[in-house]
């Protein structure tokens, strides 16, 4: 969601700030701004609504000379999209940028107004700025002490970076819920909410932990934990390449990431498939085997695309490992009283590992008596990984496009491997785990074949691009793939799309069928194919227009279009069939001229509830 970049350097920071904040556009935002303390100790602030390019134009028009500054991309929560609500926010000498939500901001706003503070925005961030100024003037404490006193009064999840024109040699950062990273340079240091913003200047990072306050100078960094003890946090060398942030030959990051999926899956499988019938996760602590051995039920919690991946895996856990599996949306899981099944393992799924609702669900679950908790995540340094008992990495690589693609297929790959792992640990039907391992080895090749059929998908996209409503149908473990296909279309093409289990057609959705609402059906060769054929006839007999994605031939029906796909093994068919649906959404959005990588109102990492 919102993005933070800050720097204290030997060089002029203005251009660095705008270059770096542009790299966070993918997170989703509606406005951006920066503030620099110049060489005469003046605060120079520039803010604008719209793309970061507007901020760059305005910054280039001004000659800003300063060695310390902050920048921010805002995703509106408190207050409309406007210049006045755009960060940074200032209170006299104090400048603040902030991610997250201050839940008691209304109470604090009233308190500060009574103290004479005048607000120029509707944001909770301006509340922080005035509160810091109030605390500083009250006792003339150091800025660190001022922040410590102030955050005791803040309710919510947040991260912030503060600069003070009366002490322009240091950045001060505080983390409570939302991620913050320190980038280490040579006689210069940086802060960001995402390492992508800093990869062009450093590969050395320190990840702040919950409750940390960091004082960052050019040549010195001091970190204090939530108990105010000085602490050394581990330095991490990132193996991410800056070139991987570039689009290369592709028009959009989403297109690039769709085509990267064979490589991402190979990376996810690498060194994890042993002896042709076993799965090995090097990052799993040995105690995980004891938990798996005793697991009789599984509860998965996730949001969005990760939820759809979890829904596919429910079929795998139950049909292959004979373990009952419940799946719930994270925001619903943590907002009600729960009954935990006997000997249940909790699994969380998240690409970023910073999804607020999923983190809240994990923390809530620790009070409920689960055997243990496991997260499947793409970011080893994330909060979910740090706070979980066990973790497995998806190894998708950096994903920039807001609409998830390779993170989805690598999640599914890991989930299917996890099924085989649990079967192995329980020493049950090892022939199934052997089949899983053998079939997963074929998956990258199968996906490469479907990607070569992109011209077929383009033709369908050209036909459907002007439609306002589309139905997606699937049965069994293909129903969640229909859900994910519909989600992709909504996210980037802004077309209303709904997914239903094919068997539910007669229970309401059939009333929508006419020539103006096309239906997309996923119908691979499996035990449910004949049932799907009956649904096709029901749609065609009512004048509906249907596009069937299948590796099978069908008897011709009026208004029926067969999208013939290559053969794929039934076990990995869900992972395979999402690829043409990703391409379909992409080409429709391209035809409609939409902002594919940065769709309106959406954010890559949803770090607020």
| Residue 585: its H or E element | helix 573-592
- Radius of gyration for the alpha carbons in the chain, expressed in angstroms and rounded: 26
d(CA 141, CA 157): 25
- CB environment 120-131: b (16+ within 10 A), e (fewer): ebebbbbbbbbb
**Spatial CB neighbours of 91, under 8 Å, sequence gap ≥ 6:** 117, 126, 129, 130, 132, 133
The 8-class DSSP code of residue 177 comes to B
Sign, CA dihedral 312-313-316-319, equals negative
Q: What is the CA angle 29-34-37, rounded to 5?
A: 165
Smallest CA-to-CA distance from 14 within 50, 55, 54 is with: 55
Smallest CA-to-CA distance from 128 within 111, 157, 100, 105 is with: 105
Could you give the C-alpha distances from 362 to 40, 226, 229, 354, 606, in angstroms and in order? 48, 21, 27, 11, 16
Start-to-end CA distance of the chain, whole Å, equals 11
Long-range contacts of 557-561 (CB under 8 A, 24+ apart): 559/515, 560/536, 561/460
The 8-class DSSP code of residue 389 comes to S
Say if strands 519-522 and 469-474 run parallel, antiparallel, or are unpaired: parallel
d(CA 214, CA 191): 10
Across the chain, how many H-helices and E-strands are there? 18, 27
Tell me the three state secondary structure of residue 501: strand
Other CB atoms within 10 A of residue 225 CB? 15
- Can you list the positions of beta strands (E) in 372-506? 372-377, 390-393, 469-474, 496-501
What residues are annotated to the active site?
2, 604
273 half-sphere exposure, CB direction, 13 A CA radius = 22
Per the document, the length of the chain is 609
Contact 365, 373 (CB under 8 A): yes
| Residue 304: its H or E element | helix 304-320
d(CA 25, CA 398): 14
- CB environment 73-97: b (16+ within 10 A), e (fewer): bbbbbbbeebebbbbbbbbbbbbbb
d(CA 543, CA 545): 7
> For 300, phi and psi rounded to 5 degrees?
-110, 140
d(CA 411, CA 304): 13
């Amino acid at each position: 969601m919102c993005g933070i970049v800050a720097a204290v350097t030997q060089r002029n920071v203005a251009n660095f700030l705008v270059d770096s904040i542009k790299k966070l556009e993918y997170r989703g935002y509606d406005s951006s701004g920066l503030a620099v303390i110049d060489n005469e100790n003046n605060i120079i602030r520039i803010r604008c609504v719209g793309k970061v390019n507007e901020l760059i134009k305005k910054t280039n028009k001004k000659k800003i000379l300063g060695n310390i500054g902050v920048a921010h991309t805002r995703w509106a929560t408190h207050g409309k999209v406007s210049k006045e609500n755009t960060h940074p926010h200032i209170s006299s000498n104090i400048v603040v940028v902030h991610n997250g939500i201050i839940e008691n901001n209304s109470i604090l706003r009233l308190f500060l107004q009574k103290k004479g503070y005048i607000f120029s925005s509707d944001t909770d961030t301006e509340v922080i700025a005035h509160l810091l100024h109030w605390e500083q003037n009250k006792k003339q404490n150091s800025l660190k002490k001022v922040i410590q006193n102030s955050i005791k009064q803040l309710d919510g999840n947040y991260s912030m970076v503060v600069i003070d024109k009366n002490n322009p040699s240091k950045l001060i950062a505080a983390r409570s819920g939302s991620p913050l990273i320190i980038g280490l340079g040579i006689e210069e240091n940086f802060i960001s909410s995402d390492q992508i913003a800093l990869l062009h200047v450093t590969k050395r990072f320190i990840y702040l932990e919950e409750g940390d306050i960091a004082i960052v100078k050019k040549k010195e960094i001091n970190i204090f934990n939530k108990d105010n003890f000085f602490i050394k946090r581990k330095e991490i060398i990132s193996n991410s390449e800056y070139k991987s942030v570039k689009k290369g030959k592709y028009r959009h990051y989403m297109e690039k990431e769709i085509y990267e999926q064979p490589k991402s899956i190979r990376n996810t499988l690498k060194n994890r498939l042993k002896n042709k019938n076993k799965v090995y996760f090097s990052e799993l602590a040995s105690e995980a085997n004891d938990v798996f051995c005793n697991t009789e039920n599984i509860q998965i919690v996730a949001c969005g695309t990760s939820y759809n991946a979890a829904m596919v895996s429910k079929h795998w856990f139950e049909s292959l490992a004979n373990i009952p599996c419940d799946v719930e949306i994270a925001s619903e899981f943590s907002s009600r009283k729960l009954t935990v099944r006997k000997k249940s393992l909790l699994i969380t799924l998240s690409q970023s590992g910073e999804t607020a609702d999923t983190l809240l669900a994990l923390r809530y679950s620790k009070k409920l008596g689960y055997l243990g908790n496991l997260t499947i995540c793409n970011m080893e340094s994330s909060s979910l990984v740090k706070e979980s008992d066990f973790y497995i990495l998806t190894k998708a690589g950096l994903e920039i496009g807001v609409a998830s693609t390779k993170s989805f297929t690598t999640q599914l790959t890991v989930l299917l491997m996890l099924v085989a792992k649990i079967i192995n640990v329980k020493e049950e039907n090892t022939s199934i785990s052997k089949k899983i391992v053998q079939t997963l080895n074929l998956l990258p090749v199968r996906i490469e074949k479907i990607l070569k059929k992109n011209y077929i998908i383009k033709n369908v996209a050209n036909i459907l691009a002007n439609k306002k409503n589309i139905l997606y149908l699937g049965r069994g473990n293909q129903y969640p793939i229909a859900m994910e296909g519909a989600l992709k279309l909504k996210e980037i093409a802004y077309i209303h799309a709904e997914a239903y289990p094919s068997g539910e057609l007669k229970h309401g959705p059939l009333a929508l069928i006419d020539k103006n609402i096309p239906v997309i059906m996923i119908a691979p060769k499996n035990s449910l194919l004949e049932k799907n054929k009956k649904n096709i006839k029901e749609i065609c007999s009512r004048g509906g227009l249907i596009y069937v994605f299948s590796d099978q031939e069908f008897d011709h029906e009026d208004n029926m279009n067969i999208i013939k796909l290559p053969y794929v093994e039934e076990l990995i068919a869900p992972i395979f069939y999402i690829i043409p649906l990703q391409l379909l959404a992409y080409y429709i959005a391209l035809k409609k001229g939409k902002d594919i990588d940065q769709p309106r109102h959406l954010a890559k990492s949803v770090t607020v509830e």
